[in-house]
Amino acid sequence: MNVKREFILFLSLAILIAGCGKSPREKVSDEEAPGEFTYRMEMAKERLTTSKFLPVYTPEFILADVNINPDDPRRFDNYSGDISGRYVEVMSGYLKEGDPGKLTELVKNILKFQHSDGRFGDTSLVFTEKYIDKNHMPLLWGNGRLLVGLLEYYNQTLDKDVLAAAKRLGDFFLSSYREVTPVVAKRLEGLGADGIICFTQYVEPLVMLSQITGETKYAEVAAKVYQTLPARGILHSHGYLTTLRGVLKLYEFDGNRAHFDYVMHAYRDLVNSGDYTIYGAVMEYFGGKGDRDEGCSTADFIRLSLHLYKLSQETEYLDRAEFAIYNALYFNQFFTGDFGHHVINQVESAPTIHHMAWWCCTMAGLRAMQVIQNEYFAESNNGSARLNLYLETDYTDENISLSVRKGGLDGKFHIYNLKLLRTEGMDEPLLVRKPPWSDKVEIFLNERKIDAGIQNGYYSIEQKLNPGDLLQVRMTYQSKIITRDKRSVLLSDITGPVTGTLNYGPFILAIDNNLDYTFLSEPNNNTVYINTVRNVSKTEIINLIPDDSFSGDAYLTTRYKHGGFPSYYDAVFRPVSQMTFQKHPYMMIAMQFIPE
């Protein structure tokens, strides 16, 4: 038996011993199966609406941050409105399908706990210059997230009682913000999640209030409050990025270009800094404090990037968002459907306790996915339609309906099947984005190859399209190394040793200890021979793919020399996104590559 075959069989046995539950996808045909994006959304939704995993999101559990019980506290109940607000925000997105989270009853109960000054939570906290300190910040943060949730619920229901409560809460913030003097701002410096970002995150709901009510006083204060946000430095990334998202909303509301320029400058500064990670997102804290990512911050970065795309129409922002979806958001999700924290750096990810942040990230991750699917995956306007993101999901609006599913490999070509379900609103050519991670691209319409010109980074499909038509985008993936200083080097251009991370198409690839403990055994300063890299066929690795995995066509294998003993072995690289389905084992993403 040769070394390679022995290696593959060994890995197959390891996976079979580890065992994975059967995927719901196996119960239906491939054509009927949900795509990965949809599947992951359903995981997160079920986490919030079923009792499969603990803690269960019961009404009592959700309401514990507005109905505070000091004798039996829930974690972070002093962030009054944080869980309840996020839950209302994300579940409001499902109200058109019914009321899976019994949301109407929940919202009515939330309103019962609003105090006379508009706030929810501890009434003993006095919001004056003399007293405001870090103990006041959690209440502000939670109330801000609750205000967003109430306004999202109002947008779906037009419930006047909810809007009245939201206005009272907005007025509470206006009164408290008057006390944010330079003395208070100085007092809140360097406090991370309990710092000034608890004020500045209010920009988003204040602008929403002005949009809904037409009362500009809320947006006018929002324009003042964001200017108290300090430079990135050592700062809580979720609060910082939430503030930037709010400032973009403010720009849409009042048209002041200074707001847009502020966000653009902050975004450029971020992605060109060490705070922008190899995974395409950010850590929990800027400035090198700590070693964890955060699902909320990843969701924020993606939403911010997409909003910048919407306002600028520059596809660079789509590219960054898509990369972060595959390699930061997908990786961040746990097998339970939760999002949360992981110990990561530019070289590896180490398993620790399961940091499933049911108090924030689980809801923030699903909310981001709703925005991605409903507003950015595809879009139509004035007779035109376009596909923006190569995600396996579905899209429907008043004009068009379509779905995207991966169709496996044909030689070196990866196939994306775009099925058109409704096209009556399409009078202009369909535009299909040319992804930056592709090399050669071919387009087929109903199994016949067609020519498609490129306009501003999109292929233009000039043929008349009808319901039931199948458009296939077939592409070869780029193979490249991203170095630690974030330079991108194609494998074909490497002539000497390069240390970095292997990227294949949209995926960051890793070696994990479920598949290859030999590669990772000490000392693991191995040499990977890049000219031996090849795509592994599904038949070769069928038993290596977790049952719930969707990325079986993105495995690569390559020869390597171990740093500790004479060897010439095969290693299997797979997408970091797949670690969701194997409970996040140890994985290595950075190593030395060299031509053989």
* DSSP string covering 42-105: HHHHHHHHSSSSSSP--HHHHHTTTS--TTSPPTTTTSTTHHHHHHHHHHHTTGGG--TT-HHH
Confidence class for position 18, pLDDT limits 50, 70, 90: very low
pLDDT at 362 over 90: yes
pLDDT at 5 over 60: no
State which of 452, 477, 502 marks the end of a domain. Answer: 477
Token representation of residue 383: 């007779």
* Mean pLDDT on 471-498: 94
Give me the residue label for tokens 């839950």: 87
573, 589 contact by CB (below 8 A): no
pLDDT at 22 over 60: no
Tens-place pLDDT, residues 238-263: 999 999 999 999 999 999 999 999 99
Average pLDDT, the chain: 91
241, 282 contact by CB (below 8 A): yes
Nearest to residue 88, comparing CAs of 75, 106, 69, 68?
Answer: 106
State which of 450, 477, 504 marks the end of a domain. Answer: 477
Tens-place pLDDT, residues 429-467: 999 999 999 999 999 999 999 999 998 899 999 999 999
pLDDT at 13 over 90: no
Q: Per residue in 387-398, is it b (16+ CB within 10 Å) or e — as a string?
A: bbbbbbbbbeee
Residues 489 and 509 reside in one and the same domain: yes
* Dihedral (Cα; 518, 522, 525, 530), 10-degree rounding: 0
Tens-place pLDDT, residues 434-443: 999 999 999 9
Residues 471 and 498 reside in one and the same domain: no
3-state secondary structure 138-181: HHHHHHHHHHHHHHHHHHHHCCHHHHHHHHHHHHHHHHHHCCCC
pLDDT at 43 over 80: yes
Q: Is residue 11 part of a domain?
A: yes
* Mean pLDDT on 83-95: 96
pLDDT at 115 over 90: yes
Q: Is residue 418 part of a domain?
A: yes
Q: Is residue 419 part of a domain?
A: yes
Structural domain count, the chain: 2
Number of helices and strands in the chain (H, E): 19, 23
Nearest to residue 204, comparing CAs of 219, 185, 220?
Answer: 219
Nearest to residue 170, comparing CAs of 201, 144, 133?
Answer: 144
Residues 528 and 465 reside in one and the same domain: no
What pLDDT is stored for residue 537 in this prediction? 72
Number of residues that this document lists for the chain: 596
What pLDDT is stored for residue 32 in this prediction? 63
What pLDDT is stored for residue 180 in this prediction? 85
Of 193 and 56, the one with more pLDDT: 56
Residues 524 and 556 reside in one and the same domain: yes
* Mean pLDDT on 562-591: 93
425, 380 contact by CB (below 8 A): yes
* Mean pLDDT on 137-162: 97
What pLDDT is stored for residue 28 in this prediction? 40
Secondary structure letter of residue 12 according to DSSP: H
Confidence class for position 125, pLDDT limits 50, 70, 90: very high
What pLDDT is stored for residue 163 in this prediction? 98
* Mean pLDDT on 145-167: 97
* Mean pLDDT on 394-418: 93
Q: Which long-range contacts (CB under 8 A, 24 or more apart) does 311-315 make?
A: 311/248, 311/251, 311/252, 311/260, 313/456, 315/433, 315/456, 315/457
Burial of 101 (0-12, 13-18, 19+ CB in 10 A): buried
* Global pTM value: 0.93
What pLDDT is stored for residue 30 in this prediction? 53
State which of 477, 512, 541 marks the end of a domain. Answer: 477
pLDDT at 31 over 60: no
What pLDDT is stored for residue 100 in this prediction? 64
Q: Is residue 212 part of a domain?
A: no
What pLDDT is stored for residue 395 in this prediction? 95
Residues 433 and 412 reside in one and the same domain: yes
Confidence class for position 552, pLDDT limits 50, 70, 90: confident
What pLDDT is stored for residue 1 in this prediction? 37
**Phi, psi (degrees; rounded to nearest 5) at 454:** -110, 130
Residues 424 and 483 reside in one and the same domain: no
Q: Per residue in 161-188, is it b (16+ CB within 10 Å) or e — as a string?
A: ebbebbbbbbebbbebbebbeeebeeeb
**Phi, psi (degrees; rounded to nearest 5) at 190:** 70, 15
* Mean pLDDT on 354-363: 95
The residue range of the domain holding 483 is 3-23+479-594
Helix (H, G, I), strand (E, B) or coil at 558: strand
What pLDDT is stored for residue 26 in this prediction? 40
Q: 77 — alpha (psi -120 to 50), left (phi > 0) or beta?
A: alpha
Q: Is residue 94 part of a domain?
A: no
Confidence class for position 543, pLDDT limits 50, 70, 90: confident
Residues 472 and 485 reside in one and the same domain: no
Secondary structure letter of residue 319 according to DSSP: H
What pLDDT is stored for residue 403 in this prediction? 96
Confidence class for position 101, pLDDT limits 50, 70, 90: low
461, 431 contact by CB (below 8 A): yes
What pLDDT is stored for residue 588 in this prediction? 96
What pLDDT is stored for residue 423 in this prediction? 87
